[in-house]
Amino acid sequence: MNSPDLSALTVVRNEVDVLAALLPLQQLAGQGQAMTMIELGCGNARLARDLLRQGLVSQVTGLEVDERQHAKNLAQPQDGLAFLQASAAAVPCADASFDLALMLKSLHHVPLPDMAQALNEVARVLRPGGWLYVSEPVYEGALNEVVKLFNDEGVVRAAAQAALDAALAQPGSPWTQVATHRFDTPVHYASVAEFEQRMLYPTFADHGINAATLQAVRVALEPHFTADGADFTRPMLVRLLQKTR
């Protein structure tokens, strides 16, 4: 696989651009061989929906463990997109079913004891030669300084990277790492209220917000907000693995 030119992709608004730079999606789609894909921890499946609309993949199965998000996904059907309520550690799909697996900011949400099993499950459902695209937030930056006041992910983000390292290093590993790429993605909040709704009270987690924490977050946010809202960048690290056997 030729090394792609990612030099222009330092600030990325749509991660489809990174995925398309790393993988021959357009070439395969043009040949009528668009990939089948599974996304583990799909959330609202925005990127998967974009890939389908652009014809860059032919079929997507989205796994989501959060019951409320899963219900929202089912209420917004799209051709080629199927949703399952399931965890990454127990994928209800047959062996060698997919060409591509995506984990977008989801590996660090897998419970620590299940991370290795989740990667084993990905290997099981990928066809030989298939790819695993893992995109994880980096534990740094101004936004992280605010978020860690109520949701410190330092341990789980490090554990996600360690799980990938261990999967690559295990004897007889089916994986080869073929690319890495670091970039920043812009994040905008129109108001403090929007930040609180999106970050403090997500449907998939209870951060146990109390009055003191809420006040600390508001104080930390204040210097970042203007009349137009607040703009941050979230540093991201992509690791692309290929199943070689």
Is 204 a residue whose pLDDT tops 90?
Answer: no
Q: Round to whole Å and give the CA distance between 117 and 230.
A: 38
pLDDT tens digits, one per residue of 84-131: 999 999 999 999 999 999 999 999 999 999 999 999 999 999 999 999
How much is the pLDDT for 205?
Answer: 83
The rounded distance, in Å, linking the Cα atoms of 32 and 197 is 42
Q: In what order do the strands lie in the sheet with 57-63?
A: 81-84, 57-63, 35-40, 98-104, 126-137, 230-243, 175-189
Q: For the residues 68-77, what does the mean pLDDT come to?
A: 96
Q: Average per-residue pLDDT in the chain? A: 95
Specify the pLDDT at position 3: 52
**204 three-state secondary structure:** coil
User: Is the predicted pLDDT of residue 38 greater than 60, yes or no?
Assistant: yes
More confident residue, 2 or 144: 144
Q: Give the CA distances from residue 141 to residues 4, 155, 229, in Å, rounded to whole numbers and listed in that order.
A: 27, 16, 18
pLDDT tens-digit readout, 41-70: 999 999 999 999 999 999 999 999 999 999
